[in-house]
Amino acid sequence: MLEAVSEYRVILGVIGADCHAVGNKIIAAVLGRTGITVVNLGVMVSQDEFIQAAIEERADAILVSSIYGHGEIDCQDFRARCEERGLGEILLYVGGNLVIGKRAFAEVEQRFLEMGFDRVFPPTVRLEDVVELLKSDIQSRRPLAYGHNTAAFGITERLSA
């Protein structure tokens, strides 16, 4: 019997030395209930582990969580590393308690957008909103990489309209 294939495939994990697991499990459960295939790497995940999993799983997006405040440090050069491995078009989402100290979320968001992330979420985000944005963003990116970031597999030619 053939197994149904999800239309959306994402890599999820908690970056760096952060070991906060509860929120990560909740995010995985919510995404999974909406038909998104989630490869949950768990906690204390390096950038390279995220990227390797995205290549192996042909993921549409990488979702990075950080609760302990060191996300700004842990996520430095993440987009560049993705590009080096052929994942320049992959969606990068980040959310949580991303910085130490009191900073306006608009400032934090701007910093992470400048770092190459496509979406930045505060710890209070509604997961339903994340799901809606994620599905929409994946659909809008699909023509760029044949739907599953095939550039990572040596296919760099794009479909023309």
146-157 residue pLDDT tens: 344 444 444 333
Output the pLDDT for position 141. 84
The active-site residue out of 20, 70, 137, 148 is 20
Question: Do 66 and 15 form a contact (C-beta atoms < 8 A)?
Answer: yes
Of 68, 64, 69, the C-alpha closest to 108 is 69
Output the pLDDT for position 6. 61
Question: Do 75 and 112 form a contact (C-beta atoms < 8 A)?
Answer: yes
What's the order of all strands across the beta sheet hosting 8-14?
Answer: 36-40, 8-14, 61-66, 91-96, 119-121
Topology of domain 8-153 in CATH is Rossmann fold (3.40.50)
Q: How many CA atoms lie within 13 A of 145 on its CB side?
A: 23
Tens digit of each residue's pLDDT (9 = 90 or more) over 81-119: 999 999 999 999 999 999 998 999 999 999 999 999 999
Output the pLDDT for position 149. 46
Output the pLDDT for position 144. 53
Output the pLDDT for position 7. 86
Residue 74 annotated to the active site: no
Neighbours of 126 (CB within 10 A): 10
45 vs 66: CA distance, rounded Å = 10
The active-site residue out of 18, 60, 74, 118 is 18
Q: Which residue has the tokens 């582990």?
A: 49
Residue 129 annotated to the active site: no
